[in-house]
């Protein structure tokens, strides 16, 4: 405790999933409100105290669940596996235990084969204090996602948290069957500051928030085809789109992989020379690109569906 420290976040305990902001909610609130009431069963819960074995070396506080909640529950009556990252604990970063919990869940899903997996991403990537373990965890998770998908499991990524979905989280998201993202959700591998540090401010000005949002934000990812769906920032919207994607996404096989490869080649061909996200939107036939950032979700989805129907035959 530190008496001189100002200001602390206070968590409201609210129950209406229609108005609860996904961005503001904790990982536990997201899981509890998204699933059917009382249906969530946690695996390796906080009472088992499977905390990071590395953070104490750095004199850093641990969290009982190591920043990720895994388990199973029901959505509209149907059982699903769920993993949710807590973006406020160390930026939702992947450490050894954190990663192992997600790997284990995905392997369980592969064995069961009939249940979808929802990954509620909220991460800056690998936890630097346990970087080697974290990097290995990313590789294991990517393999586990592909193995689960090959066994017939649909793996749906939901992105709309404070930390966005960066670093290894961005790589894992790329392996999912489908992604849904909100305005607040950002998907990328290198974050704004990382790009600026490595390539200079002329390459990417991390303080230019408009640039950050139009390059990595949800609307751009939807228009570019990187995310299948764009949703409002409420728990209810994410629940509905998750149900929707679980039924809309086709199975997985070589044809899907080939279609994904073709989609990415085509994307590079069409947009490879674009210097800014706005150029891509123009090329996609968006007439009033200035209006896109302030557009409400429903209007934006109309526009996005006109410009580019989501492709479920790829990924």
Residue count (the chain)? 315
The answer for 132, left when phi > 0, alpha when psi is -120 to 50, beta otherwise, is alpha
For every residue of 74-89, DSSP letters joined together read EETTEEEEEEEE-TTS
Shortest Å distance, C-beta 132 to other proteins: 23
56 versus 266: smaller Cβ distance to other proteins = 56
What is the per-residue binding string for other proteins in 41-60, x denoting contact by CB under 8 A?
----xxx--------x--xx
Site residues (CB under 8 A) for other proteins, limited to 81-110:
86, 88-89
The answer for 124, left when phi > 0, alpha when psi is -120 to 50, beta otherwise, is alpha
State both tokens at 57: 């070396």
Shortest Å distance, C-beta 96 to other proteins: 17
Three-class DSSP category at 8: coil
Q: For residue 11, state whether it binds other proteins (rule: CB under 8 A).
A: yes
- 91 contacts 60 by C-beta, under 8 angstroms: no
Shortest Å distance, C-beta 111 to other proteins: 27
Q: For residue 9, state whether it binds other proteins (rule: CB under 8 A).
A: yes
Phi–psi pair at 26, nearest 5 degrees: -80, 165
Whole-angstrom Cα distance, residue 112 to residue 95?
26
- Site size toward other proteins (CB under 8 A) is 29
11 versus 265: smaller Cβ distance to other proteins = 11
Shortest Å distance, C-beta 67 to other proteins: 8
Q: For residue 8, state whether it binds other proteins (rule: CB under 8 A).
A: yes
Where along the sequence are the contacts to other proteins (CB under 8 A)? 1-3, 5-11, 13, 26, 28, 37-38, 45-47, 56, 59-65, 86, 88-89
């Amino acid at each position: 405790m530190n008496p001189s420290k100002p200001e602390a976040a206070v968590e409201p305990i609210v129950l209406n999933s229609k108005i609860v902001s996904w961005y503001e909610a904790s990982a536990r609130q997201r899981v509890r409100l998204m699933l059917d009431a009382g249906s969530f069963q946690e695996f390796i819960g906080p009472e088992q105290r499977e905390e990071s074995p590395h953070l104490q070396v750095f004199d850093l506080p641990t969290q009982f669940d190591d920043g990720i909640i895994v388990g199973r529950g029901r959505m509209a009556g149907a059982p699903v596996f769920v993993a949710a990252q807590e973006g406020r604990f160390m930026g939702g970063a992947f450490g050894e235990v954190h990663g192992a919990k997600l790997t284990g869940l995905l392997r369980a899903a592969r064995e069961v084969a009939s249940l979808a997996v929802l990954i509620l991403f909220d991460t800056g990537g690998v936890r630097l204090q346990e970087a080697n373990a974290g990097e290995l965890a990313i590789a294991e998770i990517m393999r586990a996602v592909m193995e689960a998908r090959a066994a017939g499991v649909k793996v749906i990524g939901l992105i709309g948290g404070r930390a966005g979905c960066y670093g290894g989280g961005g790589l894992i998201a790329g392996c999912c069957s489908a992604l849904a993202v909100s305005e607040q959700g950002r998907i990328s591998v290198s974050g704004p500051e990382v790009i600026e540090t490595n390539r200079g401010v002329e390459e990417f000005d991390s303080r230019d928030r408009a640039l950050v949002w139009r390059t990595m934000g949800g609307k751009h990812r939807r228009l570019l085809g990187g995310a299948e769906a764009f949703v409002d920032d409420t728990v209810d919207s994410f629940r509905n789109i998750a149900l929707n994607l679980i039924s809309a996404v086709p199975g997985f096989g070589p044809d899907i992989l080939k279609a994904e490869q073709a989609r990415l080649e085509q994307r590079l061909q069409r947009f490879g020379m674009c210097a800014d996200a706005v150029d891509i939107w123009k090329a996609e036939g968006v007439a009033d690109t200035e209006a896109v950032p302030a557009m409400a979700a429903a209007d934006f989805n109309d526009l996005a569906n006109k410009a580019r129907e989501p492709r479920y035959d790829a990924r």
